Amino acid sequence: MRPKKDRTAVGMPGGVFCFEAEEEKDMSIPRALTIAGSDSGGGAGIQADLKTFQERHVYGMSAITAITAQNTQGVTGIYECSEEAVTRQMEAVATDIGIDAAKTGMIASTSIMEAVAAQVKKHRIHPLVIDPVMVAKSGSSLLEEAARHALKRILLPLSHLITPNLPEAEILVGESLDTDEKRKDAARRLTDMGADAVIIKGGHLQGNQADDLLYDGGNFHVFTAPRLHTRHTHGTGCTFSAAITAELAKGHSLLEAVRVAKAYITEAIRHPLNIGQGHGPTNHFAYRHLTVTESHH
């Protein structure tokens, strides 16, 4: 929710920066907040989220929950922020700038989840996308074991959309999800636990497709894409949930937001940057290139 008092902004008419000092304008650029961990390698977490917001033409803000020392090969250190630090970051942006949509990423402990939930309620932050980050693809745990239940109890009921990957969905419902029917049932159960909608991502599926299953509380929708054969998939989940959040911040429907986000992440994986020696990051320039090319035809 945005604060009621007048805001001022430097404008971006037509996507071009404009430095008009004499007249302060409210250009109403959508604003999105990411509440997540920092990835020093720039591939996942806060960095992926802010890059995605920027590419989707949304003003990005951050509340950092933890600092990770991380690169394309793995995580070598995790330094959690205090509850007060997280609270103050959220309070600062909510009371001044305003938030049209927010997402969470790595929130490692129950106490930080509680601090985040208190701010979400206090400032009526909505829509909220919960990416229930548990384990990095490199294998490092990003969520304390004890906090898995807290995630269901504290964050899930606040979510407009929860975006588990397959292993995360299996942990949340406590069983293996090796068929379409089981995945559908899991999605229904996650909405019963309090999420408005659920998308079980298909990046970890076997086979030639990376299809994502969305349950919007009433109907199922499948967002399809061919599986791209690359090891450069660091930050795919963060990028995808950030793209959904950006489109929701613009006021788009959930279905439209997921449609755009699926196209964005598919292109970001299709054109790897080949950065680092391990699992390289998604390419945030790829979709821009695609849309520019499209507009010339």
Ligand X SMILES: Nc1ncnc2c1ncn2[C@@H]1O[C@H](COP(=O)(O)OP(=O)(O)O)[C@@H](O)[C@H]1O
Residues making contact with ligand LCLJCK34 (CB under 6 A): 36-39, 44-45, 68, 70, 105-106, 133, 136-137, 142, 233-238
Residue 262 Cβ, how far from ligand X at the closest point, in Å?
6
**71, 119, 233, 283: residue in contact with ligand X (rule CB under 6 A):** 233
Of 212, 216, 247, 267, the residue at the interface with ligand X (CB under 6 A) is: 212
Rounded Cα gap, residues 219 and 201, in angstroms: 16
* Sole residue written with tokens 């929701």: 248
CB of 195 to ligand X, least distance (A): 16
Q: Is 264 in the site for ligand X (CB under 6 A)?
A: no
237 catalytic residue (yes or no) = yes
Contact of residue 234 among ligand LCLJCK34, ligand X, none (CB under 5-8 Å per partner type): ligand LCLJCK34
**Token duo for residue 206:** 């076997």
Minimum CB–partner distance for residue 136 and ligand LCLJCK34 (Å): 4
| Contact between 165 and ligand X per CB under 6 A | yes
Nearer to ligand LCLJCK34, 98 or 247 (CB): 247
Our finding on whether 237 is near ligand X (CB under 6 A) is yes
Catalytic residue among 235, 245, 266, 282: 235
Judge contact between 212 and 169, C-beta under 8 A. Answer: no
CA distance 257 to 206: 25
Choose between 133 and 210: whose C-beta lies nearer to ligand LCLJCK34: 133
Q: Given candidates 202, 272, 280, 281, which one binds ligand X under the rule CB under 6 A?
A: 202
Q: Is 136 in the site for ligand X (CB under 6 A)?
A: no
Residue whose structure tokens are 């009371």: 95
Secondary structure class of 283 (helix, strand, coil): coil
Q: In the chain, what is the greatest distance between 2 CA atoms, to the nearest angstrom?
A: 61
Neighbours of 69 (CB within 10 A): 14
- From ligand LCLJCK34, ligand X, none, interface partner of 210 (C-beta below 5 to 8 A by class): ligand X
Residues 267-286 that bind ligand X (CB under 6 A): 269
Per-residue burial over 94-126, b if 16 or more Cβ lie within 10 Å, else e, is: beeebbbbbbbbbbbbbbbbbbbbebbeebebb
Query: Catalytic pick from 72, 233, 239, 282?
Result: 233
Please select the residue that binds ligand X; options are 160, 183, 201, 232, rule is CB under 6 A: 201
In sequence order, what DSSP letters do the residues of 61-124 get, joined into one string?
A: EEEEEEEEEEETTEEEEEEEPPHHHHHHHHHHHHHHT--SEEEE----SHHHHHHHHHHHHHTT
CA angle 134, 219, 151 (to 5 degrees): 20
Active site residue 179: no
- Regarding 210 and contact with ligand X (CB under 6 A), the answer is yes
Nearer to ligand X, 43 or 98 (CB): 43
Spell 4-38 as b/e; 16+ CB within 10 A means b.
Answer: eeebeeebeeeeeeeeeeeeeeeeeebbbbbbbbb
Percent composition of the chain: helix, strand, coil (DSSP 3-state, to 5):
40, 20, 40
Contact residues toward ligand X (CB under 6 A) are 165, 201-204, 210, 212, 225, 227-228, 233, 236-237, 240, 262, 265-266, 269
Catalytic residues: 201, 233, 235-238
